[in-house]
Structure 1
Amino acid sequence: MTGYRLNQLGAWADLPFFETEWPRIEAMLSTDPRPILPPAPQVFRALEQVPPCDVKVVILGQDPYPTPGHAHGLAFSAEADVRPLPRSLSNIFKEMQSDLGTAPENADLTFWANQGVLLLNTILTVPAGMAKGHQHLGWQLLTEQILDHLADHPRAYLLWGAGAHKTARSVDAVKNLKIETAHPSPLSARRGFFGSRPFSRVNGWLQARGQQAINWANTSEIS
């Protein structure tokens, strides 16, 4: 595989992962005969979109959508024309409707990233049709280094699913807003994701610190 955009990573490129681990992972990806999602130029898109100094909120998921045409490098997001919505995203929007009374009109969450929301998965690639198919490649090391790097300032963390909880175990729950719930997938959303009110809680925390709330629904008014 070719096309990874390491030259677009900015300050993230200084993480030790890219020198010590990435060559091995890239080699393993290049020899995997299966279609890999997302496309190579989008694998590091979450980092390209939000430099470390701009991160206000971290949403940590599991791995990219395994359905071809869905994953585009931002956790839980998909291209605007994807219909029906990926099931996890549909549940995220249901919770947002319950929490804020509104939700985005389509699957593309790029506008969250533009406001400082790092949409990160603990695993950055997946073989098409095989969820968690790359869970043993070592991507979690990158996620851990990202979280360590972000420990310099208080931030809000939405940790969705057991994998996110484990990877972010070092995040200080006193210094930061740390909300750990079940994953929003249909298999687990009713085990604590629904009713967690993550969006209003994050905005309340940000505003209490004198920061701009996140416009979660891309509307003219922020709840």
Structure 2
Amino acid sequence: MQTDWAALLKTEFDKPYFYELERLIDAERKQINIYPSPENVFRAFELTSFANTRVVILGQDPYHGANQAHGLCFSVQSNTALPPSLKNIFKELQSDLNFTTNTKTASQGNLEQWARQGVLMLNTTLTVRAGEAGSHQGLGWETFTDEVIRIVDSKSHPVVFVLWGALARKKKSLIDITRHHVVESAHPSPLSAHNGFLGSRPFTKINDALVSSGLDPINWRLDTRPNSPFDAQVN
């Protein structure tokens, strides 16, 4: 975790609810697989410092399959097949910015390049049991990540908050929308993507908001190597 985040969150780490949350997760790890691995739970805070945070993308809980979650919402580890929601994100990225993406390419579902540019990719729940979506909701992570949102909301410069889906949009009440930008739509899941996510042009909206605040836009292109997902048409 970046030192600025560690200092800002120290009080939260010392609260009784967080000790209990850690105890529960440590006990479960001794019996079953929990994702992501311990060293990746706070990966988002390692790649994106508080000082550098310009965009916050809110997810729900980590992917619950093997070799997927690594601490960034919607992102998967390199050389892992793309989950359906991430395929739809790439489809919208292609449509929005005229990128050509190959959703069958398995090597570039890793979104760390976005995080390194100041995009805090935050799940509201930071762990999950293997094979059980939503299994760590209600244990205390939401209290922790709500505080993260409040801390980002306190920044002196405008931040772009990206809220995809009903659960993320509930967090809008934590954001001072008179100072910050909010980009919201349906979730990219196949169950809802056609109800307002596809065609919503979130990447253009994010960059327009950043530029309007005097900040540099995000380079959303993940990779330009041969066989990257931005070299061929979506299938």
Give TM-score scaled by structure 2 length: 0.85
User: Equivalent of 1:129, from 128, 131, 136?
Assistant: 131
User: Equivalent of 2:12, from 8, 12, 17?
Assistant: 17
3-state SS of the aligned residue for 1:53? coil
**Residue number in structure 2 paired with 1:80:** 78
- Gaps of at least 5 residues in structure 2 are 225-235
**Residue number in structure 1 paired with 2:61:** 63
Q: CA deviation at 1:219?
A: 5.7
Name the amino acid aligned to 2:24: M
Pairing 1:174–2:169 present: no
Q: CA deviation at 1:126?
A: 0.5
Q: CA deviation at 1:35?
A: 0.8
Contact 1:143 1:167 in 2 (8 A): no
Contact 2:114 2:220 in 1 (8 A): yes
User: Equivalent of 2:141, from 139, 142, 147?
Assistant: 139
Contact 1:160 1:182 in 2 (8 A): yes
3-state SS of the aligned residue for 1:169? helix
1:47 and 1:74 map into 2 onto residues whose CA distance is 9
Which string of whole-angstrom CA distances, capped at 9 and with x for unpartnered residues, describes residues 129-173 of structure 1? 111000011101111111111122310011112221223422122
2:152 and 2:166 map into 1 onto residues whose CA distance is 21
- Structure-2 change in CA distance of 1:103 and 1:212 (3 Å): farther
User: Equivalent of 1:101, from 83, 95, 98?
Assistant: 98
**Residue number in structure 2 paired with 1:5:** none
Identity of aligned residues (%): 44
User: Equivalent of 1:54, from 52, 55, 59?
Assistant: 52
Name the amino acid aligned to 1:206: L
Contact 1:61 1:164 in 2 (8 A): yes
**Residue number in structure 1 paired with 2:26:** 30
**Residue number in structure 1 paired with 2:213:** 209
RMSD: 1.6
Contact 2:2 2:48 in 1 (8 A): no
Which string of whole-angstrom CA distances, capped at 9 and with x for unpartnered residues, describes residues 4-45 of structure 1? xxxx34222232321113211110012223210000100010
2:61 and 2:42 map into 1 onto residues whose CA distance is 13
1:218 and 1:136 map into 2 onto residues whose CA distance is 34
Give TM-score scaled by structure 1 length: 0.90
- Gaps of at least 5 residues in structure 1 are 1-7
Pairing 1:115–2:117 present: yes
